[in-house]
Structure 1
Amino acid sequence: MPGSQNGGPRPRLAKVETIHGLARAGDLAGVQRKLRENPALLNDKNPVMCQTPLHVAAGYNNTEIVKFLLNWQGTETVDLEAKNMYGETPLHMAVKNSSCESTNLLLERGAHIEAKANNGMTPLHLAVWHALQAGDYSTVSVLLSYNADCFAKDDEGKMPLNHIPGGAGSEKLLKLLSRHMEEQRKRKALMSCCEGKAMAEFEEAISQIVGLQELKMQLRRWARGMLFDEKRRAMGLGIASRRAPHMAFLGNPGTGKTMVARILGKLLHMVGILPTDKVIEVQRTDLVGEFVGHTGPKTRRKIQDAEGGILFVDEAYRLIPMQKSDDKDYGLEALEEIMSVMDSGKIVVIFAGYCEPMKRVITSNDGFCRRVTKFFYFDDFSTTELAEILHMKMKNPSESSLLYGFKLHPSCSIEVTGELIGRETTEERRKQMNGGLVDTLLINARENLDLRLDFNCNDADTMITITLEDLEEGLRQISRQRQLQ
């Protein structure tokens, strides 16, 4: 009887197709079918070699399957760093088989370019070794374009260059690696120097800010984050570019909002977040026109001036009318023009003003809180902080300042000056003036110095030294001036 066990032909067993076999054969439809039937096969490892479908597809340069696996939309994502029995990732498999297209795809997706196999070899080690066998240097070039570390050492202490033997046929590869090693050596030396210099400049700039600990901490996060991002890129890691958020500075007059914005512009430029350090300061009159059609172009010109830097909108609440029924006010149009460019990444906007009136701005536009993500509160300065500001202004006055060339008497310590300010001013007055009190005080103190000096005085030190007596009289003048207002 045909097909019986008594000698007839045996029935042919159906061929079992594995997802790994389909990936090797380049059967995209078959791989897709297998994954639809069983999504758990995405990172399944085959017997003996312990390779995933991505290992196999990358090794055989079946790029359509590599793309499909990388873009798989299931609950599980493909494991870029899965290791086979030799500790090799899919990127190792791609480079050692000269699968240039698959190498590019894996690197674009963020595969770790410095992953090490069990023997300590990175993808560049393997790419060099196999390039010598195949005479094809394309995967080496791709890895170097992603800044693969030419100085990485395997378990034998060998760098990729050390795997190139002398003799004919290897000169081109030797020259290619040597050139990149020199570039990386220079880059590392420059980065080390620049990091130290950048952080020193950063700390010098941030030291000019009195108080505002929350803001200082945020600035340090940005600075350190940007410097570490540069290191990550130097290591060949594909990372997203960071962008400074738009901000609101809330506080009373004289609390340093404008000064901090200027320092912020320099810092964000210094660490690479902004291409320029310019800060364009505007108020309502700089943005709002008097007639229909004037406000839009006027505001756009200021936005264009600030491109690549910071647009600092002082007293931003003045853009929103007190009465919602005021349909002749064009401030809202100016605000909408600014909001329309805030998602472009070309500009950082800082809105500044008193806390309470700024609520009008925050509630006037539905997209405000989505775009403005950092709110910094500028508290009123304490008497000690005002004394610190006074000392800073006397320490490094600009050449255009009336205080240039003058100094404080040693008796005018921060502690003593702070006590004097607390004694000669009221809390309400300090709240109204804040840092403005220091500027007025120092001008008054210098005038008092001139008033008490004798024309026969020839002592140079006395001629330029502001004393505690001068500061005290300067504060009393402020109190008298305020009483008249």
Structure 2
Amino acid sequence: MSVSDVHQRRRPKKKPLSIHDAAQAGDVKSLQSKLEEDTGLINSRNPIMTETPLHRAAASNEVDAVKFLLEWQGPEKVELETKNMYGETPLHLAAKNGCTEAMKLLLQHGAYIEARANNGMTPLHLAVWYSVRADTVAPVEALLEYDVNVSAKDNEAQTPLGHMPKSPSNDKLRSLLQAQLDKQQSNKGHSMIAALEAALQPIVGLEHLKLQLRRWAKGTLLNEKRRALGLHVPKRQPPHMCFLGNPGTGKTMVARILARLLHSMGVLTTDKVVEVQRTDLVGEFVGHTGPRTRTKIQEAEGGILFVDEAYRLMPVQSGSDKDYGVEALEEIMSVMDSGKLVVIFAGYTEPMQRLFGANQGFQRRVTRFFHFDDFSTKEIAQIVYMKLAEQTESSLIYGFKLADTCCEDALAKLLENLTTEKQRQQLNGGLVWPLLVNAREHLDERLDLDCCDPNDLVTITMQDLEAGLQLLPP
């Protein structure tokens, strides 16, 4: 045996190139060969890092390999959002390594630009991190072209801007991000204000409440801008409130609108409203009230707990035996500082004022008081029109309309003449529904069975409304 034969035998065999190595090296020919043998390899994960071939190609900026994998026409397609052991997608790795061309290809094929790694970072966080160290803005510019969210926060509550060191060398990058932030904040602000005004439109009166909500919306937008700039400002606590007024003045309706608004502003995590009264919270025996109240609190978490006739939770006479309603109040107060929900206490003005005067805990926790005045006849007439416009097909008055002679002024005058002040105070907006149902029934009674005029069949007249008012309770 010759010396060359001995060396030939001792030479270690060359390890076959894995599909991950081929992707990292940009070896498209090897990629194609391996996928033709086994198409399932396209999303295979390597040991330890659990990365796919697309991860490796993107991290190395091997554009041809990235393009080949993205356009592979085999029975199994490449997965764009697969995450490695750190929760990073291929777009994360391309951003982290400043692989701008690979990033553009991934984005063109629909990669999720707001994907989150295990530490909460988005591709923009990582692109900023790279750009600061490499003194380039190219990776960030690639993401900005797709309107990436500059306000996104990682698990440390830091935005991409918040991670940037304050240095003159970063001025260009900071200006780019700031311009995008200003644009997004402006668009979001206009959208939120428009939604706010649309939601406030159905609320009759209550100008003080509307003003307060407008202030909240503006303050929320400014706080978001402060945080996006890396400024540390306290999070707004949910505003616990008290709605004071007679029944039918719109307290429950406003609570529902409020839930939607606070949810859209990010103050609440949901827009649900859980309505409760004493009977929903207070048990008949010792040990029943606490669990029952806590169940309702948990149900309302993230939204609004609306406690109607809240004064009924206090003992009728001071010095009497402990009332279970007090236990319910204490349970509610115990969670009001948690920031997990908004509590609205509602009821008649005088007994509610006594309730708050007798409990210092309420005085500290409830910071917003809104008085719901009785509706004027003009406002009740407005509500009649609003009620008709919002009916669904299941409503008894769906498809019906008021005659042209039933203008708001004429209807207000009719209400003034045919209802008493006591009726209006006790019912307020609550008289609208029975009025319309009664009027519709009078229309049926008034019409001849041979009537064939489509307009007459669905038109409520002043005569029908007058008859409807006369049927209201005294």
TM superposition score category, shorter chain reference: 0.5 to 0.7
| 1:146 alignment counterpart | 162
In 1, Cα distance between equivalents of 2:240 and 2:161: 34
Matched letter for residue 272 of structure 2:
K
| 2:117 alignment counterpart | none
In 1, Cα distance between equivalents of 2:276 and 2:249: 18
Secondary structure of residue in 1 paired with 2:244: strand
Question: CA contact under 8 A between 1:398 and 1:404: conserved in structure 2?
Answer: yes
**Residue 390 (structure 1) aligned to one of 368, 384, 396:** 384
CA deviation vs aligned residue, 1:408-436 (integer Å, no higher than 9, x gap) = 22221111111111111111211111111
| 2:12 alignment counterpart | none
Secondary structure of residue in 1 paired with 2:370: strand
Matched letter for residue 146 of structure 1:
G
Question: CA contact under 8 A between 1:251 and 1:377: conserved in structure 2?
Answer: yes
CA deviation vs aligned residue, 1:113-164 (integer Å, no higher than 9, x gap) = xxxxxxxxxxxxxxx99986xxxxxxxxx994417699x9x9xxx9944xxx
2:236 is the counterpart of 1:242: yes
Q: TM-score, normalised by structure 1?
A: 0.62
In 2, Cα distance between equivalents of 1:143 and 1:387: 50
Distance apart, 1:368 and its partner CA:
1.1
In 1, Cα distance between equivalents of 2:220 and 2:165: 21
Secondary structure of residue in 2 paired with 1:335: helix
Question: CA contact under 8 A between 2:276 and 2:308: conserved in structure 1?
Answer: yes
| 2:412 alignment counterpart | 418
| 1:230 alignment counterpart | 224
Instruction: Map 1:343-382; keep pairs closer than 5 Å.
Output: 343-382=337-376
| 1:402 alignment counterpart | 396
Cα gap change, 1:190 to 1:463, in 2 (>3 Å): farther
| 1:302 alignment counterpart | 296
CA deviation vs aligned residue, 1:65-96 (integer Å, no higher than 9, x gap) = xxxxxxxxxxxxxxxxxxxxxxxxxxxxxxxx
Q: TM-score, normalised by structure 2?
A: 0.63
| 1:281 alignment counterpart | 275
**Residue 201 (structure 2) aligned to one of 207, 220, 225:** 207
CA deviation vs aligned residue, 1:287-306 (integer Å, no higher than 9, x gap) = 00000011001000000011
| 2:314 alignment counterpart | 320
The count of residues paired between Structure 1 and Structure 2 equals: 325
Secondary structure of residue in 2 paired with 1:243: coil
Secondary structure of residue in 1 paired with 2:293: helix
CA deviation vs aligned residue, 1:361-409 (integer Å, no higher than 9, x gap) = 2134221100111111111111111111111111222333222222222
Question: CA contact under 8 A between 2:185 and 2:221: conserved in structure 1?
Answer: no
Question: CA contact under 8 A between 2:401 and 2:458: conserved in structure 1?
Answer: yes
| 1:164 alignment counterpart | none
In 1, Cα distance between equivalents of 2:463 and 2:231: 61
Question: CA contact under 8 A between 2:249 and 2:374: conserved in structure 1?
Answer: yes
| 2:145 alignment counterpart | none
| 1:20 alignment counterpart | none
CA deviation vs aligned residue, 1:328-350 (integer Å, no higher than 9, x gap) = 52000100110111111111111
- Is the deviation greater in 305-314 or in 360-369? 360-369
Question: CA contact under 8 A between 2:132 and 2:170: conserved in structure 1?
Answer: no
Matched letter for residue 423 of structure 2:
R
- Report sequence identity in percent: 58
In 2, Cα distance between equivalents of 1:149 and 1:215: 42
In 2, Cα distance between equivalents of 1:216 and 1:270: 16
In 2, Cα distance between equivalents of 1:411 and 1:334: 52
Distance apart, 1:215 and its partner CA:
0.9
Question: CA contact under 8 A between 1:148 and 1:235: conserved in structure 2?
Answer: no
Distance apart, 1:199 and its partner CA:
1.7
Instruction: Map 1:81-480; keep pairs closer than 5 Å.
Output: 144-146=160-162, 160-161=171-172, 177=173, 181=176, 189-327=183-321, 329-478=323-472
Matched letter for residue 289 of structure 1:
G
Distance apart, 1:286 and its partner CA:
0.5
Matched letter for residue 339 of structure 1:
M
Unaligned residue ranges in structure 2 (runs of 5+): 1-130, 136-157
In 2, Cα distance between equivalents of 1:232 and 1:329: 47
Cα gap change, 1:147 to 1:229, in 2 (>3 Å): farther
Question: CA contact under 8 A between 2:159 and 2:229: conserved in structure 1?
Answer: no
Question: CA contact under 8 A between 2:356 and 2:363: conserved in structure 1?
Answer: yes
In 2, Cα distance between equivalents of 1:444 and 1:194: 45
In 1, Cα distance between equivalents of 2:270 and 2:325: 28
In 2, Cα distance between equivalents of 1:418 and 1:149: 65
In 2, Cα distance between equivalents of 1:470 and 1:355: 35
In 2, Cα distance between equivalents of 1:410 and 1:361: 48
Instruction: Map 1:46-61; keep pairs closer than 5 Å.
Output: none
Question: CA contact under 8 A between 1:147 and 1:234: conserved in structure 2?
Answer: no
| 1:16 alignment counterpart | none
Secondary structure of residue in 2 paired with 1:146: helix
Matched letter for residue 282 of structure 2:
V
Secondary structure of residue in 1 paired with 2:315: coil
Cα gap change, 1:401 to 1:188, in 2 (>3 Å): farther
Unaligned residue ranges in structure 1 (runs of 5+): 1-127, 133-141, 162-176
CA deviation vs aligned residue, 1:203-245 (integer Å, no higher than 9, x gap) = 1111111011111111111112212222333344332221232
CA deviation vs aligned residue, 1:164-184 (integer Å, no higher than 9, x gap) = xxxxxxxxxxxxx59x95x77
Distance apart, 1:460 and its partner CA:
2.0
Question: CA contact under 8 A between 2:238 and 2:267: conserved in structure 1?
Answer: yes
Secondary structure of residue in 2 paired with 1:412: coil
Cα gap change, 1:450 to 1:130, in 2 (>3 Å): closer
In 1, Cα distance between equivalents of 2:440 and 2:164: 62
